[in-house]
Amino acid sequence: MPQPYAPQPAIEFRGVTKSFSHGSGRRLLMLQLFRQLAGHWKQSAENPFYALRDISFSIDPGESLALIGHNGAGKSTLLSLATRVAEPDEGEVIVRGRLSSVLDLGAGFHPDLTGYENLTLNASLIGFSREQIAACTPAVIEFCGLGKFLEDPIRTYSSGMVMRLAFAIAVELDPDVIVIDEMIAVGDDEFQQKCLLRIRGLRERGKTILLASHNLPTILEFCDHALWLDHGKVKMQGQAHQVVKAYKSRASM
């Protein structure tokens, strides 16, 4: 279908900076508290640590972008901003469409609730309606393969089972945008293959994917573009294979 104008990006970062206060001294905390009560939350207390500095990029609908970089480069902070759980100090984060995420897996589950209950709770808090959840539930059940275990409390699950459920919820709720952190650690080999297949399916259905991973072959397979973060700044951004190549040569030095 011809587009009268270029589609708007599904995710857009415009000059985004995010700082955290360094340390947690009592005086500093109080200072931060009073500053915010006075209405100046954007200024971080003295001695801020900049997790991200002036980040700009965009992902068009249906595209996939990989984040690469060493531990502490700011990947997780960037993902937390993209999922809107954290707010930037400066700049703007714009997301168009419904977003679901697989961050550190299982977070957001309540141990005493059953798998089903956690599924509904999680989905309602992501922003899905009762009807949407009802429509997706069979697919989640099918994908996670947990069967009647879904009627047991999550605390009785193995960590692999929790991950299966978290991943199933994230991919089967039919989001427009999906954010994935280190998904390669999910479950056993068989389930990993299933996840990869599913991500491929999401791509084919035109979903937008933002993925952070250390697994370079996976990135090459799934992502059109890549963004290399280094100490909170963009080191390089472009075609996935070029960025990965540069990252590899740098890493082996």
Partner 1 sequence: MQSHLSPEAAAPRWQGEYRFALQQLVLKDFRSRYRNMSLGIFWSLLNPLIMMALLTFVFTQVFPTARAAFPVFVLCGIIPYNFFALAWSTGTASLLDNTGLIKKVPVPREIIPVASVLSNCLHVFIQFGLLVGFLLAYGFTINRYWLLLPIIWGFYVLFIIGMVLATSVLNIYVRDMRYVVESMNTVLFWLVPIFYGGEMIKPEYVEIYSLNPIAALVQATRNILMEGRAPAFSLILKLSLSSLTVLVVGWTMFQRLKHRVYDYL
Binding flag, residue 25, partner 1 (CB under 8 A): no
Stretch that binds partner 1, among 76-84, 157-165, 184-192, 210-218 (CB under 8 A): 76-84
With CB under 8 A as the contact rule, the residue among 25, 97, 160, 217 that binds partner 1 is 97
Binding flag, residue 14, partner 1 (CB under 8 A): no
R_g over Cα of the chain: 19
Residues 227-246 that bind partner 1 (CB under 8 A): none
Task: Specify burial of residue 39 (Cβ count, 10 A radius: 0-12, 13-18, 19+).
Answer: exposed
Stretch that binds partner 1, among 33-41, 67-75, 213-221, 242-250 (CB under 8 A): 33-41
Residues ≥6 apart with Cβ < 8 Å to 24: none
Binding flag, residue 199, partner 1 (CB under 8 A): no
CA–CA distance, 45 with 16 (Å, rounded to integer): 18
User: Six-digit token pair at 155?
Assistant: 């605390």
With CB under 8 A as the contact rule, the residue among 55, 73, 75, 128 that binds partner 1 is 128
Residues 135-174 that bind partner 1 (CB under 8 A): 153
CA–CA distance, 157 with 150 (Å, rounded to integer): 9
Please say which residue, 183 or 226, places its beta carbon nearer to partner 1.
183
CB of 122 to partner 1, least distance (A): 7
Q: Whole-angstrom distance between the N-terminal and C-terminal Cα of the chain?
A: 47
Task: Specify burial of residue 136 (Cβ count, 10 A radius: 0-12, 13-18, 19+).
Answer: buried
CB of 80 to partner 1, least distance (A): 7
CA–CA distance, 99 with 2 (Å, rounded to integer): 26
| Contacting residues toward partner 1, per CB under 8 A | 7-8, 12, 20-21, 29-30, 32-33, 36-39, 41-42, 61, 80, 83-87, 94-98, 101, 103, 107-110, 112-113, 117, 120-122, 124-130, 153
